[in-house]
Amino acid sequence: MLLLLFFGLIMWLLDGIYTPAIDIWSIGCIFAELLTGKPLFPGKNVVHQLELITDLLGTPSAESIARIGNEKARKYLSSMRKKQPIPFSKKFPDLDRSALRILERLLAFDPKDRPSAEEIRFTDPYFDGLADKEEEPSRKPISKLEFEFERRKLTRDDVRDLIYREILEYHPEMLKEYLRGTDQTHFVYPSGVDRFKEQFAYLEEGDGTSGGNSPHHRKHATSLPSESAQLMKLTTL
């Protein structure tokens, strides 16, 4: 939580909505840490974080405060004693001038004063000779439909089955056998998949130190994923 607070979380709490400008602020905080070797605003909580930010940037203007979505934050900043901004050249006297210029732009308190990622990449002198519009074309935001899978509610069994299926990706032969849906009764001895499922179920139920049945002595495993159900789930994901 504190690490997030050091970067973009504070601006999200102020506005209540997540925007690209919050990412730009986060980039500024990370850039400052790369340049100095330590967090720029290591706040212990939200109030302390705002104190540190305004110690450097000064008290926000009345117009900037009015645009803040969080009512409590507006009241707090409005009642704050007036602070003058500290020039970045004074705060960071040993840093490159071009780095300071871009840092000031990234860390503008008001979101509307921060540049877009495209502006930073293609117009700021700090990146002269590095950015290439041909190789780095701008794209429209990804549709929320692309993240529809995040809205699906997964049961514990669903998660377990997906983990098991992911493990099999690292065991190609067992994966082939699993996808074939081979019946264990066709084997004189348990197949590789059966042994693997047995071990997986055993580990899922405990750490193997409780004195219970070892995975090689289990007669059945009630927590094993169902192949047919799993294949149906995979085809619908």
Check residues 36 and 8 and name the one with the higher pLDDT: 36
What is the residue-averaged pLDDT of the chain?
77
**More confident of the two residues 61 and 133:** 61
**pLDDT at residue 6, as a whole number:** 67
**Residue percentage of the chain with pLDDT more than 70:** 74
More confident residue, 236 or 94: 94
Instruction: Report whether pLDDT(211) > 50.
Output: no
CA distance between the termini of the chain: 32
Would you place residue 159 in the very low, low, confident or very high pLDDT band (cuts 50, 70, 90)? confident
DSSP string, 31-97: HHHHHHSS-S---SSHHHHHHHHHHHH-SPPHHHHHT-S-HHHHHHHHHSPP-PPPPHHHHSTTS-H
The domains located in the chain, with CATH, are 2-127 (1.10.510.10), 145-236 (no CATH)
pLDDT-derived band of residue 157, with 50, 70 and 90 as boundaries? confident
SS3 109: coil
Q: pTM of the full predicted structure?
A: 0.58
HSE-up of 86 (CA within 13 Å, CB side)? 11
Tell me the average pLDDT across 113-135. 82
Question: What is the per-residue pLDDT across 180-204, written as a single tens digit (0 to 9) for each?
Answer: 875 443 333 445 556 666 666 666 6
pLDDT tens profile 81-121: 999 999 999 999 999 999 999 999 999 999 999 999 888 88
What is the rounded average pLDDT of the residues 202-211?
Answer: 55
Answer whether residue 228 shows pLDDT above 70: no
Helices and strands (DSSP H and E) totals, the chain: 13, 0
- What was the pLDDT predicted at 231? 44
How confident is the model at residue 206, as a pLDDT?
Answer: 58
Decide: 103 and 88 in contact? Cβ < 8 Å.
yes
pLDDT at 234: 44
Which pLDDT score, from 0 to 100, does residue 196 have? 60
Q: How far is CA 123 from the centre of its chain?
A: 28
Tell me the pLDDT tens digit for each residue of 35-86.
Answer: 999 999 998 888 898 999 999 999 999 999 999 888 888 999 999 999 999 9
